[in-house]
Amino acid sequence: MTVLTAPRLVPGVRLHRTADGDLLRTADGTLHAVHLPPAEADELRLALVADRRPRTPQAAAAYDALGAAGHLRPAAPPAACVHGTGPLAAATAAALRRMGAEVTQGGGGGLRVEVTAPRAACVEAWCADGHLVVAPVAVPAADVAARWRAAGHHRRLDEVEDGPTTVVAASDVPSPRALETAAHTVADEALRRVEQPVDPAAREAHLALTLDLRTLVVARRPVLPVPPAPR
């Protein structure tokens, strides 16, 4: 029999893995059978150890039930610092606060969200030619901007000649709804990278997130780092 203890379980609560399945021992010593398929039970255990919400439906439902029954410690709120100036940076900070994060404001420059707790994550984003662009995990923002410039398609990219920027002109954000959607997209991406870390070698780590600020259509597009100049 193996016994699981995890930071999110309140003192005295344990998960026991036996030959007949998992058992939950509550703080008062009561035993309850955990009725989950093996793969879902594994995901629940992994999530408790990693201090995150499970990624599969049945394990997530069991996790929520543990919380509702008082067997989980309250999760510490994420802590994030929003760097940048302008309406998009301000709206992103407000979106993060609505999502439960403790937010501080950093310096100017391009929009960058740095999450420091419960784990570190970083998101860089900017607006260009009517689109919000969010750099992927494994590709520097400057390389994404260079790829975007090279793609052409009549994009106006004066604002990214020296790299990404978050100076959002009226033409970049045509409506309050677009600004709110863009801010929510950046905030959600930052917290998602904390809850579901991406392997830098995976394909997902090379998918840039784009939002058309006119149609509000979100897409993920593959992008590779710019190779060094030949010598």
Residue 231 lies in a domain: no
Q: Is 134 left (phi over 0), alpha (psi -120 to 50) or beta?
A: beta
Q: Are 114 and 209 in contact (CB under 8 A)?
A: no
Co-location of 137 and 48 in the same domain: no
Q: Are residues 62 and 88 in the same domain?
A: no
For the chain, how many helices (H) and strands (E)? 5, 11
The pLDDT of residue 21 is: 79
Residue 230 lies inside a defined structural domain of this protein: no
Helix 87-98 crosses helix 176-195 at what angle (to 10 degrees)? 50
Residue with the larger pLDDT of the pair 207 and 226: 207
pLDDT at 69: 87
Q: Rounded CA gap, 158 and 212, in Å?
A: 18
In a domain, 167, yes or no: yes
Structural domain boundaries, residue 168:
79-222
User: What is the C-alpha to C-alpha distance for residues 117 and 114, in angstroms, rounded to an integer?
Assistant: 9
Q: Which of 39, 68, 97 is the last residue of a domain?
A: 68
Regarding whether 84 and 58 lie in a shared domain, the answer is no
Residue 9 is predicted with a pLDDT of 85
Q: Edge-to-edge strands of the sheet including 218-222?
A: 102-105, 79-83, 111-117, 121-128, 131-134, 207-212, 218-222
Whether the bond into 74 is cis, omega within 30 of 0: no
Q: Which among 127, 134, 142 is positioned nearest to 113, based on CA atoms? A: 134
Residue 3 reports pLDDT greater than 70: no
Question: Which among 11, 33, 68 is the end of a domain?
Answer: 68
* Helix, strand or coil, per DSSP, at residue 15: strand
Q: E strands of 26-109, at which residues? A: 31-33, 79-83, 102-105
227 lies in some domain: no
Mean pLDDT check: name the lowest of 2-6, 56-60, 109-113. Answer: 2-6
15 lies in a domain?
yes
Q: What does the pLDDT read at residue 33?
A: 87
Above 70 in pLDDT, residue 166? no
What is the per-residue pLDDT across 53-67, written as a single tens digit (0 to 9) for each? 888 999 999 998 888
Report how far residue 195's alpha carbon sits from residue 50's, in angstroms, rounded to the nearest whole number. 9
CA distance 211 to 32: 46
- Same domain for 214 and 124: yes
Q: pLDDT value at position 76?
A: 78
pLDDT of residue 164: 52
Locate 158 and state its tokens.
């004066």
pLDDT at 174: 64
Residue of 202 and 167 predicted with greater confidence? 202
Mean pLDDT of the chain: 84
Annotate 111-136 with b (16+ C-beta within 10 A) or e (fewer): bbbbbeebeebbbbbbbbbbbbbbbb
- 151 and 58, same domain (yes or no): no
